[in-house]
Amino acid sequence: MPATLFQSWWFQNLFTLSLLAGAALLAWRLSRREYWRNAFHEICRNRLAVISFVILCGYGAIAVLDSIGWRRPLRHPETGEIARHPETGKVILDQGASALDYLLAPISAKREKTYSAPLATTDYTPTTAMSPTGQPQRVHAPLAYPRSHLLGTDRIGQDVFCQACKSIRTGIIIGLLTTILAVPFALIFGTAAGYYGGWIDDATQYVCTVLSSIPTVLFIAAFMIIFGQGLPQLALAMGIASWTGLCRLLRGETIRLRETDFVLAAKAMGVPSWRIILRHIVPNVLHLILITTVIRFSSEVLAEAAFTYLGIGVGADTMSWGAMINDARTELTREPIIWWKLAAAFTFMVGLVLPANLFGDAVRDALDPRLR
């Protein structure tokens, strides 16, 4: 299966680790600046924000565990012997799985036949079976693994808790990747438009206006039809659809900064424009970017669920909360009602979005000088 470069495990591992390293580097750089250190202390004083941050870290850890993985030698199902290539004698590897998969394996291996309620001992729907007296009877058949499915199982007997955990990565990747893709565009065009004005500004404004006047749903649908469904495609589409707002914000702030005395002083000193943008403008809008990113993260997570539910999100082979909700749509109409899949998706999503919002608010309060 890992046919292309992007899907190979070593690429994924490398990408994840470099992302982590990048985040750590940024955090380290910022921690040396007094302004950010003060903001950090401010956030630490807010108990709700600290709790939110711990929860977010938990989610993040799961997403990271689900993003690094490796392949293992294929073993004979019975003898447990390592399979080798008949001619070359090389060890044959399986398709591989993420660290999270290996961790969840004890649970996900416990397959049932079909639906079972959370922590149930028997099937949810009765099946017809022969009674000891030989009469056909409707009974709730006992489960293969009673009391072991925290959030029940789905139609084909898979553990719902495992699915919800596997969906975390999708949600977080969408939230992060969208921003990572949107920020450079917004930063480059926003600051250039604001600083230089003139035709650069006109052109940027024009593009922004056009992009933001296309309905997002239509745009994403068209994008997915052209480029196929998948996690990277969705992130890219959502990134393109959402950088205009940040771009306008940055443009406005740059126009204000352009007239401040310290920028004028640099200009009078003969500092070239690109250098003024890099040294004076960008550091002074960084807090805006961080605030927008953190606040927008949760709405991107929700948007992913909505797009997947509408059938224009990540494809069917990627687990996500949107896909779970989509499944739950039919289950909710059954009698008796099957509620746990929706409940699981909902709980996991709120568990991420609510702390993200609370933390976002705390970050904004700590960084926005007007609220200080």
Partner 1 sequence: MPSQPEQHLLTVSGLRIAFRQGDAGVTAVQDASFAIKPGEMLALVGESGSGKSITALSLLGLLPPNAVVEAGQAHFQGRDVLALPASERRAIAGRRIAMIFQEPMTALNPVLTVGWQIGEVLKQHHRLPRAGRQRRVVDLLTQVGIPDPEQRASDYPHQLSGGMRQRVMIAMALAGQPELLIADEPTTALDVTVQAQIMDLLQTLRRQYGTAILLITHNLALVNEQADRVAVMYAGSIVETAGCDDLFRRPAHPYTRLLLRSIPSVDQRGQRLAAITGSVPKPEEEIPGCRFAPRCPLATPQCQTAAPLFRDLAPNHGVACHLADTPLPEAQADAAVSKDDAPPPTPVLQVTGLQVWFPRQSGLFRRTTGYVKAVDGIDFTLWPGETLALVGESGCGKTTAGKALVGLAPINAGSIVVHGKTDLNGLHPRALRPFRQTIQMIFQDPFSSLDPRLTIGETIAEGMEIHQPGLTSNERQTRMTDLIAKVGLPADALRRYPHQFSGGQRQRIGLARSLAVNPAVVICDECTSALDVSVQAQILNLLKDLQHELGLAYLFITHDLGVVSFLAERIAVMYLGRIVEHGQTAEVMTSPRHPYTKALLAAAPTLDSADGRPKLRLPGDVPSPINPPTGCHFHPRCACAQEVCRTTPPPSVSFSPTHSCTCHFPVD
Options 30-38, 142-150, 213-221, 288-296: segment touching partner 1 (CB under 8 A): 30-38
Nearer to partner 1, 32 or 90 (CB): 32
Cβ count near 158 (within 10 Å): 17
CB of 257 to partner 1, least distance (A): 9
Local structure of 116: helix, strand or coil: strand
Nearer to partner 1, 15 or 35 (CB): 35
Tokens encoding 143: 């489960």
Nearer to partner 1, 89 or 270 (CB): 270
CB of 274 to partner 1, least distance (A): 13
Nearer to partner 1, 146 or 272 (CB): 272
CB of 157 to partner 1, least distance (A): 57
CB of 244 to partner 1, least distance (A): 24
CA distances in angstroms from 184 to 23, 241, 247, 260, listed in the order given = 16, 14, 10, 24
372 forms part of the interface with partner 1 (CB under 8 A): no
Is the preceding omega at residue 184 within 30 degrees of 0, hence cis?
no
Question: Using CB under 8 A as the criterion, what x/- string covers residues 259-288 for binding partner 1?
Answer: -xxxxxxxxxxxxx------xx--xx----
Single residue of 4, 5, 34, 213 touching partner 1 by CB under 8 A: 34
Nearer to partner 1, 33 or 84 (CB): 33
200 forms part of the interface with partner 1 (CB under 8 A): no
Nearer to partner 1, 142 or 272 (CB): 272
CB of 263 to partner 1, least distance (A): 8
Nearer to partner 1, 270 or 336 (CB): 270
Torsion of CA 91, 96, 101, 102, to 10 degrees: 20
Looking at residue 281, the DSSP 8-state letter turns out to be I
Q: How far apart are CA 9 and CA 72, in angstroms?
A: 12
Single residue of 33, 41, 111, 334 touching partner 1 by CB under 8 A: 33
Q: Could you write out the DSSP letters of every residue in 138-156?
A: EE-PBPSSTT--TT-B-TT
* DSSP E strand boundaries for the chain: 69-70, 97-98, 127-130, 136-139
**Which residue, 2, 1, 22, is CA-closest to 12?**
2
Nearer to partner 1, 169 or 280 (CB): 280
Q: Could you write out the DSSP letters of every residue in 301-370?
A: HHHHHHHHHTT-SS-TTS--HHHHHHHHHHHTTSSS---HHHHHHHHHHHHHHHHHHHHHHHHHHHH-TT
35 forms part of the interface with partner 1 (CB under 8 A): yes
CB 189 within 8 A of CB 314: no
CB of 201 to partner 1, least distance (A): 13
Cβ count near 317 (within 10 Å): 8
Positions in 225-264 near partner 1 (CB under 8 A): 260-264
CB of 262 to partner 1, least distance (A): 4
Q: How far apart are CA 310 and CA 348, in angstroms?
A: 20
Nearer to partner 1, 35 or 206 (CB): 35
CB 96 within 8 A of CB 72: yes
CB of 212 to partner 1, least distance (A): 23
CB of 97 to partner 1, least distance (A): 45
Reading phi first (left if > 0) and then psi (alpha if -120 to 50, else beta), residue 198 is in: left
Positions in 149-178 near partner 1 (CB under 8 A): none
Positions in 71-110 near partner 1 (CB under 8 A): none
Q: Could you write out the DSSP letters of every residue in 33-50?
A: SHHHHHHHHHHHH-HHHH
CB of 368 to partner 1, least distance (A): 14
CA distances in angstroms from 356 to 51, 160, 234, 293, listed in the order given = 11, 24, 21, 11
Nearer to partner 1, 136 or 199 (CB): 199
Options 15-23, 28-36, 89-97, 353-361: segment touching partner 1 (CB under 8 A): 28-36
Chain residues in the site for partner 1 (CB under 8 A): 33-35, 260-272, 279-280, 283-284
